[in-house]
């Protein structure tokens, strides 16, 4: 090149059919309506925020008298962490819009799901067992009755989860579709029953006295909202799989 000649600056043209990294990163999932993607992501964020508030307040209430913890405070902490935190996260982990699991492969999402499910179920069952041992009279309130439903379906969901996890390997012994449908159904009932039991727990006099009536009603509303958000996708999946099973008969 001759001296004193400035080489013009230019940017190379992108190859045809090749997208830049920024375009790939900002593009939502293929085939998904963008507005629906934003709506689902917003609901997911709201669910996480409400779960954090409800679980956090329940833990603070349980720690109000300091350590060591009695049977009731320990029961509350273990149950809300087991059901409303870990089990909720195990269900949300399968959502395509869920923040922390969105980049995971499907196989890793399933691993996260059953690990969180086992941890949450074990912690919640331990919390319920502590209270059962502490009390002489059981299942005489709505709080206890819905807790009993949650306990029964938690155990059923854990057992049924094995048949769903190994549906392909056990396909000669069990109907894989039926196994998955019952697992989804048991999970929905478990989480819904645990949330209803929690709402009746918030409604108790000693909690309302501590938290005030207005704040208690707010927590009950928060619990109802995030419970609906958490179970709506499993309900849709259950309906879809049930309809497909009926059509394929």
Which residue has better confidence, 23 or 41? 41
First and final CA of the chain: distance in angstroms?
76
99, HSE (Cβ side, Cα atoms, 13 Å): 9
C-alpha–C-alpha distance, residues 228 and 142, integer Å: 20
CATH number attached to the domain at 34-247 = 1.20.120.1770
51-78 burial code (b ≥16 CB/10 A, e <16)? beebbebbeebbeeeeeebeeebbbbbb
Q: What is the pLDDT of residue 172?
A: 60
- Segments making up each domain of the chain, as ranges: 34-247
* pLDDT tens per residue, range 90-136: 999 988 888 888 888 988 998 899 899 999 999 999 999 999 999 88
Q: Which residue has the higher pLDDT, 3 or 70?
A: 70
pLDDT in tens, 220-234: 999 999 999 999 999
**Portion of the chain with pLDDT greater than 90, in percent:** 59
Mean pLDDT across the stretch 240-247?
A: 87
User: Does residue 182 contact residue 245 with C-beta atoms inside 8 Å?
Assistant: no
pTM of this structure: 0.82
**Contact in structure between 67 and 77 (CB atoms under 8 Å):** no
């Amino acid at each position: 090149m001759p001296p004193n000649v400035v080489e013009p600056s230019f940017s190379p043209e992108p190859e045809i059919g090749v997208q830049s990294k920024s375009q790939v990163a900002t593009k939502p999932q293929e085939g998904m309506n963008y507005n629906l993607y934003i709506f689902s992501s917003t609901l997911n964020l709201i669910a996480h925020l409400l779960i954090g508030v409800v679980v956090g307040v329940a833990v603070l209430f349980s720690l109000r008298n300091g350590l060591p913890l009695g049977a009731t405070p320990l029961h509350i902490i273990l149950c809300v962490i087991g059901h409303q935190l870990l089990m909720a996260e195990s269900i949300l982990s399968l959502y395509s819009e869920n923040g922390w699991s969105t980049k995971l492969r499907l196989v890793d999402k399933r691993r996260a799901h059953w690990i969180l499910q086992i941890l949450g179920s074990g912690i919640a069952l331990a919390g319920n067992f502590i209270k059962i041992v502490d009390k002489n009279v059981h299942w005489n309130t709505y709080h206890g009755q819905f807790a009993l439903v949650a306990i029964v379906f938690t155990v059923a969901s854990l057992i049924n989860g094995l048949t769903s996890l190994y549906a392909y390997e056990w396909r000669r012994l069990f109907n894989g579709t039926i196994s998955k449908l019952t697992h989804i159904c048991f999970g929905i009932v478990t989480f819904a029953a645990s949330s209803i039991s929690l709402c009746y727990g918030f409604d108790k006099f000693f909690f309302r006295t501590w938290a005030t009536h207005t704040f208690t009603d707010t927590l009950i509303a928060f619990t109802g909202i995030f419970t609906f958000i958490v179970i709506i996708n499993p309900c849709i999946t259950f309906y879809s799989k049930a309809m497909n099973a009926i059509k394929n008969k």
